[in-house]
A and B are shown apart, each in its own frame.
Chain A
Amino acid sequence: MLFNSIDFAIFLPIVFALYWALSKLHIKWQNLLIVGASYTFYGWWDWRFLSLIIFSTLVDYYIGRALSKENVDKKRKFLLWTSIIVNLGFLGFFKYYNFFLENFVDAFTLMGMPIKSDLLHIILPVGISFYTFQTLSYSIDVYRRKLEPTNNFVAFAAFVSFFPQLVAGPIERATNLLPQFYTKRTFDYSKAANGMRQILWGLFKKVVIADNCAHYVNIIFNNPENYHGSMLFLGAVLFAFQIYCDFSGYSDIAIGTSRLFGFNLKRNFSFPYFARDIAEFWRRWHISLSTWFRDYLYIPLGGSRGSINNQIRNVFIIFIVSGFWHGANWTFIAWGALNALYFIPLLLLKRNRNNLGIIAETTFFPTLRDFVGMLFTFTLTVIAWVFFRAESIADAFVYLSGIFSSSLFYYPEISAFKGLQTLLYLLLFFNFIEWFGRKGEFAFEAIEKRPKLIRWLGYVFIVFLIGMYMQTKETPFIYFQF
């Protein structure tokens, strides 16, 4: 079920009420409820997917237990590789089988040896890219002896299937989330209130900003030949906000919902469009995935140590794999490769760790240098997003060639789109709130310190904007397809 659906609006209060009603009993009852609710949540999409997540849970639970009893390095490695092969095997089959088959056939056709093949009609289980990485992190951390394997199957199943973050992250590390299932949770009003604030803000980002941007993005990207370069650039900017608000909105709802149940999830986005360089952008965007790749792929490969060639190789591997994680299409690989090209100069000039703090931390306005850095970085990411959004590499180049034409300096055809002007004002409002709240966990958190009247006016105003601009058709979150 979608977070922005009536089904979830009914599901959540019921689970919330039952969960805290069980708080006086042993913790296992709360965890059991989490497991039951999470499987219900997940099975709502398609009950057949449950078998995969249950199997994945069982495999990694028993591998964890086996690792705790095994001290022979070779056998420990064997157990780890079993977990990796099972998890990545599922992911590879469901997500990439047809991609590899199509490209295999195309390659042989190009060489003049056409092969007949039948693509399988494979349904991609929702959230598979997320929960497989989550369980893999458990197996790897147990193997590395960073984490004690658990004997508590219910707690482990709850960790794997925890419904707020099951289908689109954040990808939680076992070291952070699993121990929270061992300790009793007590209701904390201020934590729950903060959670509600974050849910409200996440909903606003998703249904007001992302879904409305999507409407125009679809029109512009489907017919780029009809628009000036300036309009195409605006379309790409709208997509940048669509994907940010869609994905970070989901993360906000996931983190806020978790707070309602007494859990603390890691932050997944930290105002990435205020980044002053591309390295900072990648420290702020989809933090759970980028740190996962850093810890489990980049560092084992050698990271930024070793020869320059190795460093460049490692950067390319990370970004291309990250792109490929997003989907079985060359466009995602191209997007990853382009980001690698952006990043490498900073790495080689040792400027990739220049901007570690909050922009304009002690002032309201950024310095001119920071402002130019923000604009430049944002423009680079917008260009890269064109590959992410396009159906094919060829379409992406057609779109970009449309942007980088003389019509880039024409006035964009805003008035040709009903409601676009209003959306641009909403984007202005949104960015103002984000800028104002950039020092907090999430933008709307800043309202917590205001007087009660201002807080409630703020809540009512955001709810009003949601009520006025929410699309009446339920639109799924973009990252569900990953």
Chain B
Amino acid sequence: MPIAFLGYWLLLIAWGDMMDERNHQKLGENKHIVLHTFVSKHPKTNLNYPIAKFGHTFSRLNDAKKTQSKKVLFLGSSITYRGFDNRFFRKNGISAFNLGTSAQTPVQTELLLKRYLDSITPEIVIFEVSPGMIQNSGEEAAIDIIANDTITVETIKMALKVNRLKTYNTLLYGYYRQYFHRNDSITEHRWKAKDIYHINGYVETKKEGFKNSWIRDIEFQQNPKQLMALDRIVSMLKKKKIPYYLVMAPKTKAVYNSYTNIDNHIELMKTKGRFINFQNALPLVDSIHFYDHYHLNQKGVLIFNQKVIDTLKLAKKKN
């Protein structure tokens, strides 16, 4: 059995390296074609290693390792890293770090806090808690963190909580890459398509126009694992006496109205701590302030962030 497991791991490594586009570039165009004769360019497999790929997680977590003492720490999914502009907060005298990652769920938030909370030492934590994060399995976010951060025992515990085959495969491959220092020379561009990464975690979008799409009614289910992780996060913050706010960032009216059981989610979040729903608190227009149904554009972000500062009274009073 151990030899069989080793054989499986070796095949996984061979496969992962074969699919690594960085290796394709080294091999040259002709061999690139040969490889893609056997395997399509984008196979649907249970191995995904998105290092320095989506959401600038690689850059953000590298920054987090070097960050100390910020006033505010933002947590959550892409709604967070695209919704809280720490430059704007800095202009208002508030130092902030944005630790949002793609599709982050409480299972990943817990891991990130265990790693970075003691070094970032925030005075306040703002945790964006849209209903999707409580429902999701956390697979996508787990893979993102495995590929872009150091693998430790905590990472293995996170993978066990997510308990998906793709996560385990990515963990096995990721450990090989880490052990043999295959990622030491990886860098990530600040600019990717129309997104720019700013130091301390915020991703500004230069996307223009509103990408409309059909929205169907959604009834959210609560994933018990995510709820338990959320409770552990709340306990952790309370134990360290760090004040926290659970917030819901605004989305388009179409999406918000499609949530058939949003009241259940709001009531649940209120039981976990101070909860603020910014949905109807702002004069936002879908086609002007959003670039898709879930994410604000830069205009919308500035309006939203000002409201956050005012509501939570984050700015120091000027004497």
Question: Chain A: residues with CB nearer than 8 A to chain B?
Answer: 212, 215, 418-422, 425, 456-457, 459-461, 463-464, 467-470, 472
Contacts and interface: CB of A to CB of B under 8 A. Distances in A.
7 contacts: A418-B44, A422-B40, A422-B43, A464-B15, A467-B165, A468-B169, A469-B44
B4 A421 contact: no
Given A418-B42, A419-B43, A422-B39, A470 B165 contact: yes
Given A460-B11, A461-B11, A468-B46, A419 B40 contact: yes
Q: What are the 7 closest A-B residue pairs judged by CB atoms, nearest first?
A: A419-B44, A421-B40, A460-B7, A464-B11, A422-B43, A468-B45, A422-B40
B94 interface: no
Contacts of B11: 460-461, 464
Nearest to B166: A472
Contacts of A215: 44
B3 interface: yes
A469 B46 contact: yes
Contacts of B3: 456
A468 B15 contact: yes
Contacts of A212: 44
Contact of A419 (B42, B165, B166): B42
Given A422-B43, A467-B169, A472-B46, 6 more contacts: A212-B44, A421-B39, A456-B4, A457-B7, A463-B4, A470-B165
A283 B42 CA distance: 40
Interface in B11-68: 11-12, 15, 38-40, 42-47
Contacts of A469: 44-46
A459 B39 CA distance: 21
Nearest to B43: A422
Nearest to B39: A422
B12 A464 contact: yes
A419 B38 CA distance: 11
B299 interface: no
A209 to B, nearest CB: 14
Chain B contact residues: helix, strand, loop or mixed: helix
A52 to B, nearest CB: 30
A212 B40 CA distance: 15
Contacts of B15: 464, 468
Interface residues on B, range: 20 to 34
Nearest to B38: A425
Contacts of B8: 460, 463-464, 467
A468 B47 contact: yes
A418 to B, nearest CB: 5
Nearest to B6: A460
Residue of B38, B39, B40 with most partner-chain A CB within 10 A: B40
A304 B17 CA distance: 61
B44 A460 contact: no
Contacts of A425: 38-39
A14 B156 CA distance: 26
Nearest to B44: A419
B41 to A, nearest CB: 9
Contacts of A419: 40, 42-45
B85 interface: no
B144 interface: no
Nearest to B169: A467
Nearest to A463: B8
Given A425-B38, A472-B139, A467 B43 contact: no
A467 B40 CA distance: 18
A204 to B, nearest CB: 14
Contacts of B139: 472
Contacts of A418: 40, 42-44
A464 B7 CA distance: 9
Interface in B148-196: 164-166, 169
Contacts of A463: 4, 8
A250 B164 CA distance: 23
Query: Which residue, of B8, B166, B169, has the highest number of chain A Cβ atoms within 10 A?
Result: B8
A467 B45 CA distance: 9
A418 B41 CA distance: 8
A469 B166 CA distance: 10
A215 B43 CA distance: 13
Contacts of B12: 464, 467-468
A418 B48 CA distance: 14
B164 A472 contact: yes
B207 to A, nearest CB: 23
A431 B51 CA distance: 36
B205 to A, nearest CB: 25
Interface string B90-107: 000000000000000000
A46 to B, nearest CB: 20
Contacts of B43: 418-419, 422
A457 B4 CA distance: 8
A461 B46 CA distance: 15
Contacts of B42: 418-419
A399 to B, nearest CB: 25
A330 B165 CA distance: 39
Given A418-B42, A467-B12, A472 B165 contact: yes
A454 to B, nearest CB: 13
Contacts of B39: 421-422, 425
Contacts of A421: 39-40
